[in-house]
Amino acid sequence: MNAPRLVVVGASWGGVDALQIVLGALPATFDAAVLVVLHRAQGVRDVLQHVLQRSCSLPVGDVEDKQPILPGRVYLAPAGYHVHVEDAHFGLSVDDPVHHARPSIDVAMSTAAEALGPKVTGVVLTGAGRDGAEGLALIKRLGGCAIVQEPSDAARADLPRAALDAVQPDRVLALEEIATWLAERGGGAEVNGGASPD
């Protein structure tokens, strides 16, 4: 199976604004898939897709169970579900929340790393709590690329700080720089050219 490169972006508090900037900078020719995991409340009428679609030139939609991962698309983790990456498609679960979150950034990033290894880039943006730190570390261990938003640039610095405690990332960047970096690299995966174990 020909699995595509995948960028997993995690955020919580302040995430909607940050995501508009990052996704807004991706060109229509972007050739990796993007999975967005944003902590969000269940039950409220779901407008996230519409909000993000307005600023993004790639098609944006909620993940469906067993949906194939296609390049040039932005997938949102649906409220109330964990997203699991399995080879070349997404799966969903209603397993217990991780760090009080479902969807959890750790679940998405860990399963992405385990399924796709060096083809994964993890990006941890603004937020409260520490969800995502462990997943980002695993992405790095399995040969992928780790990006963390500069804590001083984040609306809430907890999430990026926790990530920085857990892993030595490839880049620590401000939001606009993350957007440019991803856009230039078309997904940015395999930055290490096969990865060095550390």
Tell me the catalytic residues: 12, 39, 131
Please select the residue that binds another protein; options are 55, 57, 62, 171, rule is CB under 8 A.
62
Asked whether the bond before 68 is cis by omega within 30 degrees of 0, the reply is: no
User: Any idea of the CA torsion for 161, 174, 145, 7, to the nearest 10 degrees?
Assistant: 110
d(CA 6, CA 155): 25
Q: Which of residues 37-56 bind another protein (CB under 8 A)?
A: 43
Q: Considering the rule CB under 8 A, would residue 146 count as an interface residue with another protein? A: no
Q: 152 vs 196, which CB is nearer to another protein?
A: 196
Q: How far is the CB of 136 from another protein (least distance, A)?
A: 14
Q: At what angle do helices 175-185 and 15-24 cross, to 10 degrees?
A: 40
Please select the residue that binds another protein; options are 50, 96, 152, 193, rule is CB under 8 A.
96
Nearest to 145 by CA among 165, 116, 174: 116
Binding segment (CB under 8 A) for another protein, from list 3-11, 32-40, 139-147, 152-160? 139-147
Binding segment (CB under 8 A) for another protein, from list 4-12, 49-57, 78-86, 166-174? 78-86
SS3 172: strand
Q: Considering the rule CB under 8 A, would residue 111 count as an interface residue with another protein? A: yes
Q: Which residues bind another protein (CB under 8 A)?
A: 43, 62-66, 78, 80-82, 84-86, 91-96, 107, 111, 114-115, 117, 138, 141-143, 195-197
